[in-house]
Amino acid sequence: MSLDTRKRLRKRRDMAIRMKIVIGADHGGYHLKKTLSGFIRQSGYEVIDVGAFSNEPSDYPEYARLVAEKIQSKEGWRGILICGSGVGASVAANKFRDIRAAVCHDTYSARQGVEDDAMNILCLGARVIGEELAKEIAKAYLQAEFKDLERYRKRLSMIKEFERQWTRKD
């Protein structure tokens, strides 16, 4: 296969992945997950919903793992995780290699988190923000692109080094 064909195939695969958003929530985020999934689908994306599928008590680390693994394996492009506050979900998701998760309850952070910090999982607190704001935040997050600048790449490689050190000590 020629280099050109390989490049073309990779580009096509990347474009297809870019339309896949992975979403997960514990019982605290179950209702907001339903609302946001509909909103994201209407915006033209495919939604991969990893649960929870009811509002029975469940554990947010489990959904953080499911979303993180789908981002790591590139089955999905970006993730959205919802719990009561967004905090537990972000703490758990950040334990996974190459995951950069953050709670953003305003559109500025959601956009800048991607542009400067390559955030790949947005965490939301369903008990903190309303549905309309959550939609605006999700929109800002999904429309944002990483600014591929030297200083941002340098900072990301510093974080990558933390991951390597952390693994070595284990």
Binding site for ligand RB5 (CB under 6 A): 26, 28, 60, 83-85, 87-88
Q: How far is CA 6 from the centre of its chain?
A: 27
Task: Tell me the two tokens of residue 72.
Answer: 């790591």
Least distance (Å) from ligand RB5 to the CB of residue 105? Answer: 13
Task: Using the minimum distance from each CB to ligand RB5, give the nearer residue, 24 or 28.
Answer: 28
Least distance (Å) from ligand RB5 to the CB of residue 63? Answer: 10
Q: b/e for 130-160, b at 16 or more Cβ within 10 A?
A: eeeebbebbbbbbebeeeeeeeeeeeeeeee
Task: Using the minimum distance from each CB to ligand RB5, give the nearer residue, 63 or 141.
Answer: 63
Task: Using the minimum distance from each CB to ligand RB5, give the nearer residue, 102 or 118.
Answer: 102
Least distance (Å) from ligand RB5 to the CB of residue 77? Answer: 24
- Cα gap 20→47, rounded to integer Å: 6
104 is catalytic: no
Task: From residue 61, give the alpha-carbon distance in Å to each of 30, 37, 69, 71.
Answer: 14, 20, 12, 15
Catalytic residue (one of 64, 83, 93, 123): 83
- Cα gap 12→15, rounded to integer Å: 5
Residues marked as catalytic = 83
